[in-house]
A and B are shown apart, each in its own frame.
Chain A
C-alpha cells in the first residue's frame, strides 16, 4: 500500500470517529441551556471520583427509601450518578449540579434540606426540643427537692404512735 493510500485511510478513519463523537454529543438532553456555562474547574482522575462520591452521597435516589444515589443500585440512581460525574468533569460546581437536579425533582432530591425558610424548623426543632426537655427536668428536680424532707430531720414521734398501737393490738400483747 502506498503512503498516500495509508494517509487517506487514516484521514477517513479519523473523520468517521470525529463524526460519530459529534453525533453522540448532539444526542440526549440539552442540559447546557438550563445549566449555563460551568462556573468551576473541570475535574479528572482521583479528584473527579472523590467529588462524584461526595455529591452523590448528598443526593436522594428518587425511587428508593431514603437512599442516596451513591448507595442505590437502581438504574435511575446509576444514571444520575453518571450525570454528576459528567457535570463535574465539565467544570460545573456543586451548586450548579444541585440546581439542575432540583429543576426536575425539586428539593426532594437533596438528602439534607437547605437551611433556609421553613426548612429551618428541621434544624432548630431538635435543639429546641432538647433544651425544652432539659428545662423540664431541671424544673422537676427543683420542685421535688422542695417537697422532700431534708435529710437528718427526725420524723415526728406522733406519726408513729398509730402504727405502734396497731402492732400491739395485732400481736395481742
Chain B
C-alpha cells in the first residue's frame, strides 16, 4: 500500500480514536455543571403562600434545591423520597423546591394530595432555573452551609445518592 495513503489515513483516524477512547465510560447524557464548587446563585422568590424566601437567609445549613413540576413523571416518582428525606434530616438540612414551568395551582393541588417536603417557590420568569443551568425537571442541587454548590443530580434522585451527598455536608 502506498505509504502516503497510510500516513494520511493514520492522521485522520488517530484523533477520532483518541476522542472516542476518552469518551468511553462516561454517561453521554451527563452534562457537567460549571457551577459545582462555585457560589450558588442567590435569589428571592415567593412560595405558594405568598411568603418571600431568600436563599441567603438559609445560610448556615445545607440546602437541597429541587427544580420540579407536576407534569414531570420522575418528579412524581422522587416525591416520596424527598418527603422521607426532609423528615429524616429535619433541623439539619433545608429542602426547597423551585417550580419549573408549571402552574402554582397545579402544585398546590399536588402537594395537598401527596404531601409537601418543603416550600415550593414560584420562579415566574424562569430566571432562577436559568441561573442554575437547569436543562429539565427534576434537577437537584446540593448547596453547602456556606452557600457553595457541592453537587448536582439530574433525574429522579435515589435514596443512596441522597445519603452519600448529604453525609459530607452535615
A interface residues with partner B (beta carbon < 8 Å): 26-31, 33-34, 62-63, 75-76, 79-80, 82-83, 101-106, 108, 132, 136, 139
**Which residues of the partner chain A approach B130 to less than 8 Å between Cβ atoms?**
29, 76, 79-80, 83, 101, 104
Asked if B37 is at the interface (CB within 8 A of a chain A CB), the reply is no
Q: Which 10 A-B pairs have the closest CB atoms?
A: A104-B133, A79-B126, A29-B131, A30-B42, A106-B34, A29-B43, A105-B133, A29-B127, A29-B128, A28-B127
| Cα distance, A62 to B125, chains bound together (Å) | 17
Q: Secondary structure of the A side of the interface? A: helix
| Cα distance, A79 to B135, chains bound together (Å) | 12
Q: How many A-B residue pairs lie within 8 Å, measured between CB atoms?
A: 80
- CB nearest to B133 among chain A residues: A104
Q: Secondary structure of the B side of the interface? A: loop
A-facing mask of B77-110, CB < 8 A → 1, else 0?
0000000000000000000000001000000000
Chain B residues numbered 49-64 whose CB sits less than 8 Å from any CB in chain A: 52
Shortest CB–CB separation between residue A75 and chain B, in angstroms?
Answer: 5
- CB nearest to A26 among chain B residues: B44
Asked if B112 is at the interface (CB within 8 A of a chain A CB), the reply is no
Shortest CB–CB separation between residue A87 and chain B, in angstroms?
Answer: 11
A27 touching B45 by the CB < 8 A rule? yes
Which of A27, A33, A63 has the largest count of B CB atoms less than 10 A from its CB? A27
Shortest CB–CB separation between residue A36 and chain B, in angstroms?
Answer: 14
Partner of A79, one of B35, B41, B127, B133: B127
| Cα distance, A106 to B33, chains bound together (Å) | 7
A34 touching B41 by the CB < 8 A rule? yes
**Which residues of the partner chain B approach A105 to less than 8 Å between Cβ atoms?**
34, 133
**Which residues of the partner chain A approach B129 to less than 8 Å between Cβ atoms?**
76, 79
Partner of B44, one of A27, A104, A136: A27
Known: A29-B41, A29-B42, A33-B42. 8 other contacts (CB 8 A): A28-B128, A33-B41, A75-B126, A76-B134, A79-B130, A83-B130, A132-B8, A136-B4
| Cα distance, A149 to B46, chains bound together (Å) | 87
| Cα distance, A105 to B133, chains bound together (Å) | 5
Chain B residues numbered 4-35 whose CB sits less than 8 Å from any CB in chain A: 4, 8, 11, 31-35
| Cα distance, A136 to B130, chains bound together (Å) | 49
**Which residues of the partner chain B approach A132 to less than 8 Å between Cβ atoms?**
8, 11
A62 touching B41 by the CB < 8 A rule? no
Known: A76-B126, A79-B125, A136-B8. Contact between A28 and B43, CB under 8 A?
Answer: yes
